[in-house]
Chain A
Amino acid sequence: SQKIEQNSEALNIQEGKTATLTCNYTNYSPAYLQWYRQDPGRGPVFLLLIRENEKEKRKERLKVTFDTTLKQSLFHITASQPADSATYLCALTMDSSYKLIFGSGTRLLVRP
Chain B
Amino acid sequence: DTGVSQNPRHKITKRGQNVTFRCDPISEHNRLYWYRQTLGQGPEFLTYFQNEAQLEKSRLLSDRFSAERPKGSFSTLEIQRTEQGDSAMYLCASSEDSYEQYFGPGTRLTVT
Residues of A within 8 A of B (CB): 4, 32, 34, 36, 41-46, 49, 89, 91, 93, 97-105
Task: Name the residue in B4, B35, B42 with the highest tally of chain A Cβ atoms < 10 Å from its Cβ.
Answer: B42
Chain B nearest CB from A94 CB (Å) reads 11
Residues of B within 8 A of A (CB): 4, 31, 33, 35, 40-45, 48, 56, 91, 93, 95, 99-106
The answer to whether A49 touches B100, judged by C-beta atoms less than 8 angstroms apart, is: yes
The answer to whether A34 touches B42, judged by C-beta atoms less than 8 angstroms apart, is: no
Q: Which residue in chain B gives the minimum CB-CB distance to A89?
A: B42
The answer to whether B101 touches A46, judged by C-beta atoms less than 8 angstroms apart, is: yes
Instruction: State in angstroms the CA–CA spacing of A98 and B97 once bound together.
Output: 10
| Contact partners of A36 in chain B: CB under 8 A | 103
Looking at the complex, which one of B41, B43, B104, B106 makes contact with A100 (CB distance below 8 Å)? B43
